[in-house]
């Protein structure tokens, strides 16, 4: 049973598009997921690049997952990690972190590929101000047969659990269906949704719209199928009892905490990113693209 279908807001960044499904006015969260961006597929020109300058986060964890391409991640903990397909990068902001995301030099030389997901998880009550942390996990469980394959990115699905840290109950997986492939969607999570990010697929016979976030009713077992092949993301988990607020790159249960983080960023009180200290994204003057209220 489908509860809701959310059409993302598309932002054209010149050589590639970013589609934001959450947060939206009609829904702000699915489980702990409060921000869902899908970008690409795109082939950038030789010499072009993605360059997201250093910027701050609080009270959330970012999850980066690529289908194609590569991204260099640097953060204020001193982390440097090149994200590639098959590896999940989980950056826990907690009480505060700064990071940048840029195309690697070798990608710039050949024309970067851009295709993947960027999501944020709100941290649960009592854990919003934990110490910042970073992890990259590539040894992820894979469930497959001749016509279907699923990679468990976070949480437990189909009897397999990923090693990726979770702070609230979380499910996150990439599903690849070959022509005539099918896969059951487990019904255990409080909240769950699917997004078709390539090809075509149906859910219990109902076609999925490309890049739409389809929110599913809890407790209902459903099956994904594809006639010609498709790529689908499954996400969700524990429903939060306490409301979360989002403004720009900040998420918190406390609006005053977001105001404090904004003042701290404007005043230069956040730490620098080693190896990427010269540039930064300034605090927005008006209403940012990401806001819940």
Q: Is 101 annotated as a binding residue?
A: yes
Alpha-carbon distance of 43 to 113, in angstroms, equals 5
Alpha-carbon distance of 203 to 52, in angstroms, equals 35
Alpha-carbon distance of 179 to 50, in angstroms, equals 33
Q: Is 220 annotated as a binding residue?
A: no
Q: Is 107 annotated as a binding residue?
A: no
Nearest to 69 by CA among 92, 87, 54: 87
Q: Is 11 annotated as a binding residue?
A: no
Asked if 38 contacts 117 with a C-beta cutoff of 8 angstroms, the reply is yes
Q: How far is CA 6 from CA 27, 140, 182, 199, in A?
A: 8, 29, 23, 18
What lies within 8 Å, CB to CB, of 147 at 6+ separation is 177, 178, 179, 180, 181, 182
Residues annotated as binding site for Fe cation? Answer: 55, 57, 99, 101
Residues flagged as binding site = 55, 57, 99, 101
């Amino acid at each position: 049973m489908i509860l809701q279908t959310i059409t993302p807001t598309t932002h054209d960044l010149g050589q590639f598009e970013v589609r934001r499904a959450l947060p939206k006015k009609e829904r702000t969260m699915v489980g702990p997921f409060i921000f869902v961006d899908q970008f690409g597929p795109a082939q950038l020109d030789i010499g072009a690049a993605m360059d997201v300058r250093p910027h701050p986060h609080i009270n959330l964890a970012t999850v980066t997952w690529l289908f194609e391409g590569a991204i260099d991640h640097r953060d204020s903990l001193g982390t440097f990690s090149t994200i590639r397909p098959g590896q999940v990068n989980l950056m826990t902001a907690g009480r505060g972190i700064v990071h940048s995301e840029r195309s690697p030099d070798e990608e710039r030389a050949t024309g970067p590929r851009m295709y993947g997901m960027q999501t944020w998880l709100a941290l649960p009550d009592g854990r919003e101000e934990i110490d910042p942390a970073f992890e990259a996990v590539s040894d992820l469980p894979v469930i497959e047969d001749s016509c279907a394959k699923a990679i468990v990115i976070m949480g437990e699905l189909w009897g397999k659990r990923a090693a990726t840290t979770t702070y609230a109950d979380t499910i996150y997986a990439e599903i690849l269906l070959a022509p005539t492939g099918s896969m059951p969607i487990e019904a255990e999570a409080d909240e769950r949704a699917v997004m078709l990010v390539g090809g075509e697929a149906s859910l219990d016979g109902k076609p999925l719209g490309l890049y739409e976030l389809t929110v599913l009713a809890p407790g209902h077992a459903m099956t994904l199928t594809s006639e010609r092949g498709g790529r689908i993301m499954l996400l969700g988990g524990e429903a939060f009892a306490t409301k979360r607020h989002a403004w720009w790159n900040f998420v918190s249960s406390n609006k005053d905490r977001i105001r404090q983080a904004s003042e701290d960023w404007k005043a230069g009180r956040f730490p620098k990113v080693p190896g990427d200290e010269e540039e930064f994204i300034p605090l927005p003057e008006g209403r940012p693209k990401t806001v819940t209220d």
